[in-house]
Structure 1
Amino acid sequence: MTANSTPVLSKLSDSDQTVAAPDEDVRGRKMADTQGNELGKVDDLLIDGTEQKVRFLLVEHGGFLGIGQKKSFIPVDAVTRVTDDYVYIDQSQEQVSGAPPYDPDLVDETAFYGSVYDYYGYAPFWGPGYVYPGYPYYH
């Protein structure tokens, strides 16, 4: 992908694609921060249809009993490990709470994706020299 092209991403649930192995699908798993604090759950995966790679986790967090929950993207680059029940990331609860909120009107805009990468301190996947994280469950 060139630096000037707009990435076209879609939710895995809205596509005809699947995760290679069902036990590697992290949707529905709880998410935990650097301290092991539960943040919410992985609602969906945002995939790059061209390269067939996961670029973001769509995470539901905050609120109480589903009221006031917020959805935001977390770059796949933040994932440090995955267990049967949890996806662990290298970000704090405070960082995730302040993340740019998910806005369905902006999901096709490079500027929005770029702001999420900037917020978490990662280089965007369309930038020069980007190396995809080596997690086998995202290939």
Structure 2
Amino acid sequence: MAIPANVISSDRVEGTTVYNTAGDKLGSIDDLMIDKLSGQVRYAVMEFGGFLGIGTDRYPIPWSMLKYDTAQEGYVVPLRKETLEGAPKYDDTRIPDYDESYTASINKYYGL
């Protein structure tokens, strides 16, 4: 069965490179956070920093900020690397609860 062109499997999104509008590679998608009630993707969790997966932090970025660029075969976000350095983040051993407080802090940081 073929998947319609306007949807994508989550396993194809995970690992996709994320660039900023200047074309700099920021990281790659590690995970997607999906709203249990609406079924909508709320956040793409991007890996940024570290070396070979060691010391890599995960940055939840509001899904609405990502735009897929077919020429780059990756997602583009209107962020500079310096902006990410102060963004909400966590490591893979301490995944936070995406409760109202945490999601509010993410959305506030990105001005949503």
The residue that corresponds to 1:130 in the other structure is: none
Aligned residues: 103
The residue identity in structure 1 corresponding to 2:77 is I
Whole-Å separation in 2 of the counterparts to 1:47 and 1:68: 25
Q: Structure 2: which 5+ runs fail to align? A: 1-6
Query: Matched residues in 1 for 2:67 and 2:33: separation?
Result: 18
Residue aligning to 1:120: 110
Q: Distance in 2 between matches of 1:114 and 1:91?
A: 19
2:85 partner letter: S
Residue number in structure 2 paired with 1:26 = 13
Aligned to 1:105: 96
Task: For residue 86 of structure 1, report the CA deviation from its aligned partner.
Answer: 0.9
Whether the aligned pair in 1 keeps the contact of 2:19 and 2:75 (CA below 8 Å) is: yes
CA RMSD of aligned residues (A): 2.3
Secondary structure of the 2:64 match is: helix
Q: Which has the higher contact order (CA 8 A, sep 6+)?
A: 1
- Say if 2:49 is the partner of 1:62: yes
Runs of 5+ consecutive residues of structure 1 not aligned to the other structure = 1-19, 123-139
TM-score, normalising length from structure 1?
0.65
Aligned CA distance change for structure 1 residues 112 and 55 (closer, same or farther; 3 Å): same
Q: 1:119 to 1:23 in 2, by over 3 A?
A: closer
Conserved 8 A contact 1:80-1:90: no
Percent identity of equivalent pairs: 32
- Assess if the C-alpha contact under 8 Å between 1:81 and 1:89 holds in 2: no
